[in-house]
């Protein structure tokens, strides 16, 4: 199966004489829900949000899709489309789709290549051959890790996305190798793979409502790109997406996502753990202040475990010995962890500067949203992931 993946492309301007407003759709697959956002692009490249909504799934939606369990997950996408129909007479059928890191593996691969003739200009074909070799090398490494997870059932992998972290010629960084002269070419690429069966099942899931993805990417990659425009002064940082049952981590150096990982523990699990200790449900726990006070020791215990797991995942990232000190949490979820436990755990690692924890704050205007309607009481901070997909997809939808 050949899937489209994200490429850097020049933005093509739409003709201002167009008699209609072209609408676009982005879908964000999350651990326990599917979210959709309809928008249009204005002449000044700003966006108008026409509507956003989500459809919940009672268990692990990603697991249901990767297992090919379309019967149980059908209601989720059917329900979402019905909700989106309230915002538009005709829902676009070719969305950009953001997926979580679950079922994906990424690699930062760097290759140094000695040229036969340093006086000849570097050609596009020469660059393509090097990139192709890097991707083959990365696939071999990643396939071994995937086989440890899936065994012999893994048949093939697909590239979800790749981006060039940096290029050098004779030790000097350059933005464009083509046309340059030199002896040693160095290219570093960050690439993400997923099993073909998972992506095929995802496409089948989307096709239940006749959606055919224009491209598929990880939402964390989109977030890293959107953040570049939000904070141009910050080039090195760690992104943390603490979701219901999963924690995603991305490491950014020089404004490029160079490593990512995840583990299956989220803030909803904190409440489940504390509730189990008191033999009450998470909902009952949240409704009763006295129960919450009694649950504090259990919450502290699971938060300390989360901090230890977080540190372990950071330490296991290949090719990174010293980490950025700035840590940003998405969706205002910093308060759901114990900062004290996290700082204590992080003492085991090496950082470029003293670690600090912050929240990735933004306004709709920061992401070029000029107008917004039908947000369905979803807080702005909870929209950063799907708005990052809008931000990333504007060149795709203008091709």
Q: What is the pLDDT of residues 139-179, one digit of tens each?
A: 888 888 887 777 766 678 888 988 888 899 999 999 899 99
User: In the chain, where are the structural domains located?
Assistant: 23-102+197-222+363-398, 105-193, 232-359
Residue 132, classified by CB atoms within 10 Å of its CB into exposed (0-12), middle (13-18) or buried (19+), is exposed
> Looking at the DSSP assignment, which residues form a beta bridge with residue 27?
36, 97
Q: Which CATH architecture has domain 105-193?
A: 2-Layer Sandwich (3.30)
Is residue 104 within 8 Å of residue 218, measured between CB atoms?
yes
The CATH code for residues 23-102+197-222+363-398 is 3.30.420.40
CB 250 within 8 A of CB 329: no
Integer Cα distance of 88 and 81 in angstroms: 10
Q: How confident is the model at residue 397 (pLDDT cuts 50, 70, 90)?
A: low
pTM: 0.87
What does CATH list as the number for 232-359?
3.30.420.40
Distance CA 255, CA 224 (A): 8
Q: Where are the alpha helices (DSSP H) in the chain?
A: 61-66, 70-84, 124-150, 196-207, 219-230, 267-278, 282-287, 289-315, 339-346, 384-393
Task: Name the residue with higher pLDDT: 39 or 146.
Answer: 39
DSSP code, position 307: H
pLDDT value, residue 392: 87
Both tokens of residue 125? 């074909």
Task: With beta carbons less than 8 A apart as the criterion, state whether 248 and 220 touch.
Answer: yes
6-30: pLDDT as tens digits: 443 332 233 334 444 688 999 999 9
Pairing of strands 247-253, 237-242: antiparallel
For 62-101, what is each residue's pLDDT tens digit?
Answer: 989 988 888 889 999 999 999 999 998 889 999 999 999 9
Q: Which residues contact 332 (CB under 8 A, 6 or more apart)?
A: 359, 361, 379, 381
pLDDT of 45: 83
Tokens (6 digits) for 146:
């995937």
23-102+197-222+363-398 and 232-359 in the same fold: yes
153, HSE (Cβ side, Cα atoms, 13 Å)? 9
For residue range 264-318, list pLDDT tens digits in order.
999 999 999 999 999 999 889 888 889 989 999 999 999 999 999 999 999 999 8
């Amino acid at each position: 199966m050949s899937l489209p993946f994200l490429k850097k492309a020049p933005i093509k301007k739409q003709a201002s004489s167009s008699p209609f407003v072209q609408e676009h759709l982005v879908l964000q697959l999350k651990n326990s829900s599917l979210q959709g956002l309809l928008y249009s692009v204005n002449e000044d490249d700003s966006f108008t949000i026409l509507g956003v909504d989500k459809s919940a799934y009672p268990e692990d939606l990603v697991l249901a899709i990767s297992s090919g369990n379309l019967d149980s997950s059908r209601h989720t996408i059917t329900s979402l489309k019905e909700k989106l129909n309230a915002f538009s007479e005709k829902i676009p059928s070719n969305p950009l789709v953001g997926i979580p890191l679950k079922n994906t593996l990424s690699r930062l691969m760097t290759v140094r290549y000695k040229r036969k003739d340093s006086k000849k200009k570097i050609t596009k074909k020469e660059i393509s051959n090097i990139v192709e070799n890097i991707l083959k090398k990365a696939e071999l490494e990643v396939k071994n890790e995937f086989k440890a997870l899936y065994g012999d059932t893994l048949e093939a992998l697909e590239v979800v996305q790749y981006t060039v972290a940096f290029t050098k010629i004779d030790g000097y960084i350059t933005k464009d190798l083509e046309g340059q002269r030199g002896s040693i070419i160095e290219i570093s690429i960050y690439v993400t793979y997923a099993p073909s069966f998972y992506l095929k099942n995802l496409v089948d899931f989307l096709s239940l409502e006749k959606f055919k993805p224009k491209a598929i990417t990880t939402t964390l990659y989109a977030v890293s790109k959107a953040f570049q425009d939000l904070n141009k002064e910050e080039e090195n940082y760690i992104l943390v997406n603490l979701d219901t049952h999963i924690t995603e981590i991305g490491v950014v150096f020089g404004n490029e996502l160079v490593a990512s990982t995840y583990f299956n523990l989220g803030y909803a699990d904190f409440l489940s753990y504390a509730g189990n200790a008191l033999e009450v449900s998470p909902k009952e726990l949240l409704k009763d202040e006295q129960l919450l006070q009694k649950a504090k020791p259990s919450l502290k215990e699971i938060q300390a475990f989360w901090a230890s797991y977080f540190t372990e995942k950071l330490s296991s990232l290949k090719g990174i010995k010293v980490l950025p000190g700035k840590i940003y949490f998405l969706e205002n979820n910093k308060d759901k962890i114990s900062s004290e436990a996290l700082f204590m755990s992080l003492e085991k690692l090496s950082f470029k500067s003293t670690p600090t924890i912050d929240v990735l704050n933004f306004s709709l205007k920061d992401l070029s949203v000029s107008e917004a309607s039908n947000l369905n009481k979803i807080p702005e901070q909870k929209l950063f992931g799907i708005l990052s997909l809008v931000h990333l997809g504007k060149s795709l939808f203008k091709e």
